Amino acid sequence: MGSAAVVPPQAGPAGRIVSYNPATGVPLGDVPDMGADEVKAAVARARAAQREWGAVPLVERCRRVSRIAETLMEGASELIELIVKEGGKTRMEALGTEVAVVADLTRYFCKHAPKLLAPEPIPLHLLKHRGSYLHHVPRGVVGVIAPWNFPFSIPIGEVVMALIAGNGVVLKPSEMTPLIALAGKDIIDRAGIPPELFQVVTGRGPTGAALVESGVDFVVFTGSVATGKRVAAACGERLIPCTMELGGKAPAIVCADADLARTAQALAWGGFCNSGQVCASVERVYAHASVHDELVERLVAITRGLRQGDASSDEVDVGAMTWDKQVDNVERLVDAAVKAGAVVQTGGKRGKGPGQFFEPTVLTGCTQDMDIMRKEIFGPAIPVMKVASEEEAIRLANDSHLGLNAYVFSKDTARARQIAEQVEAGTVMINDVLNTYGCPETPWGGVKQSGVGRTHSVIGLKELCQTRHVNYDRVAVPREIWWYPYKQRTFDWALKGMKLLFGKRPWSRD
């Protein structure tokens, strides 16, 4: 679930990066700002360890990786506290969207990977004396470049899947949340995975660039569209295959027959979870005119009841925003929308206190030409637009350069599915929001400029492998008819056979 672009955090000791609590501004620790030589050395260590790991049978790899879920849950309380402090999200969000996601993904793929990655026979329709099958082998070393908005579940989930597939992994976490990545490394090491197999390289943008340039065999990037384009270009120059999960501008289409109580609850959570710092956040709502006013009334009432503050307290629903520049972005978009005629129904300004907060905000009177309806907000603001019909909502939902997630709300499931199939998005959910990222069996990724490739699911697992084809003889024959020497008689018979196979059949009718 992609993040906004990243800039260096506050200055620290030379050659070090300081991590801060976004709710309080208190420093939490510091990590090295690694250079190209250190990155190359980490990749070399992972590659050496991968040679042995890749030779371990898949079933045994799954058995060993499954221990990660055990060590994760043993240290869950400490990890949750770190995620709250460094990431700003609430304990419930740290548990549900970070820890639980990885634990479940680990168990799921360890159980099902032997079947998902089993050799796949390919029936041949003509050459029946030969057989074909696909088999899946490790790529080598996978480079993971991770965002700050889900600093545990995004990278560590990819690490687990890459390890199951037989790869070594080098992770470059966001400079905003490096301590969480190092905690993930500790959890995986304690599970008994060879420590050299999984490496963490900390640093800023040049460290990520060095990872791409270090000779890795596959890159998984999650982040902004602008940065993703640069990473994809660097991969393209080196012919490194990659998966890019970039930004989102998820529309929610609210039909005239929607269950408004459920819809309002879903929109509130979908827009304000993790302070709106989710690439699949509800970023724009198209509500049918017949239900618009009541929906807004319900949504505003829920929003006004949300408790915002330092998530170290259990009495908080919406925590701090991880990056101060993103607070500026939300403020800029909201202010511009108000100047253009939008109305703030609740919220609309920075939160009180020393930390990085923006009030949960609901805007009405929005129009499609406003930046807040077109550009990624990545913060706790929900713009609502009134539409005359479902057809108008579909057209406006597709009027975007992004296409990661989308949502449809209707009591008529059949009609909702028809609408969903017309929306240009990698995933469309009906009467729910966000949570398919937590379903390891479903693919995650977007269309248009929301990225290329998929993570999670059998698709994501196979993308972490090289898929190779083997063709063999099922029945031994002395020679193939198309081998040398060529003969006129053979040609004549071959031509007759092809006309019979591929030409107009005597029994066919125009």
The CA–CA distances, whole Å, from 50 to 76, 194, 443, 466 equal: 28, 9, 26, 15
- In degrees and rounded to multiples of 5, residue 131 shows phi and psi of -125, 160
- Could you report the per-residue pLDDT of 21-52, keeping only the tens digit for each? 999 999 999 999 999 999 999 999 999 999 99
Beta bridge partners of 473: 130
Q: In what order do the strands lie in the sheet with 218-222?
A: 198-200, 168-172, 141-145, 218-222, 242-245, 451-452
Query: What pLDDT score was predicted for residue 5?
Result: 36
Strands (DSSP E) found in 223-303: 242-245, 250-254, 282-288
Cα separation, 305 vs 312, in Å, equals 19
Dist CA 326 CA 226 (whole Å): 15
- φ/ψ (deg, to 5) at 261: -65, -50
Quote the distance between the C-alpha of residue 479 and its chain's center: 51
Q: Retrieve residue 455's tokens.
A: 């993570």
Which of these, 406, 146, 102, lies nearest to 280 by C-alpha position? 406
Q: What is the DSSP letter of 486?
A: P
Output the pLDDT for position 3.
42
CB 172 within 8 Å of CB 181: no
Angle at which helices 76-87 and 178-190 cross, to 10°: 170
What local confidence, expressed as pLDDT, does residue 142 receive? 99
pLDDT score of 13:
75
Q: What is the pLDDT of residue 354?
A: 85
Q: At what angle do helices 58-65 and 67-74 cross, to 10 degrees?
A: 10
19 pairs with which residues across the strands? 29
For Cα atoms 323, 460, 179, give the angle at the middle one, nearest 5 degrees: 30
Ordered domains of the chain (ranges, CATH): 32-246+456-467 (3.40.605.10), 250-444 (3.40.309.10)
* pTM for the predicted model, two decimal places: 0.95
Q: Per-residue confidence of the chain (510 residues) as pLDDT tens digits? A: 544 333 344 456 779 999 999 999 999 999 999 999 999 999 999 999 999 999 999 999 999 999 999 999 999 999 999 999 999 999 999 999 999 999 999 999 999 999 999 999 999 999 999 999 999 999 999 999 999 999 999 999 999 999 999 999 999 999 999 999 999 999 999 999 999 999 999 999 999 999 999 999 999 999 999 999 999 999 999 999 999 999 999 999 999 999 999 999 999 999 999 999 999 999 999 999 999 999 999 999 999 999 999 998 778 999 999 999 999 999 999 999 999 999 999 999 998 778 999 999 999 999 999 999 999 999 999 999 999 999 999 999 999 999 999 999 999 999 999 999 999 999 999 999 999 999 999 999 999 999 999 999 999 999 999 999 999 999 999 999 999 999 999 999 999 999 999 998 777 665
Side chain identity at 176, as an amino acid letter?
Answer: M
Tell me the pairing of strands 427-430 and 405-409: parallel
Q: Interhelix angle for 67-74 vs 76-87, to 10°?
A: 70
Task: Give me the helix-helix angle, 58-65 and 153-164, nearest 10°.
Answer: 150
> DSSP code of 98?
I
Active-site residues: which are they?
245, 279
Burial of 41 (0-12, 13-18, 19+ CB in 10 A): middle
Torsion angle of the four alpha carbons 285, 288, 291, 296, in this order, in degrees rounded to the nearest 10: 20
pLDDT for 12 equals: 64
**Cβ-based burial of 432 (10 A; exposed 0-12, middle 13-18, buried ≥19):** middle
Could you identify the residue written with the tokens 């190359």?
A: 40
Using alpha carbons only, how large is the chain's radius of gyration in Å?
26
pLDDT value, residue 61: 98
Residue 257's nearest CA partner among 416, 410, 430 is 410
Query: Which DSSP letter does residue 136 get?
Result: E
Torsion angle of C-alpha atoms 295, 297, 298, 303, degrees rounded to 10:
120
pLDDT at 510: 56
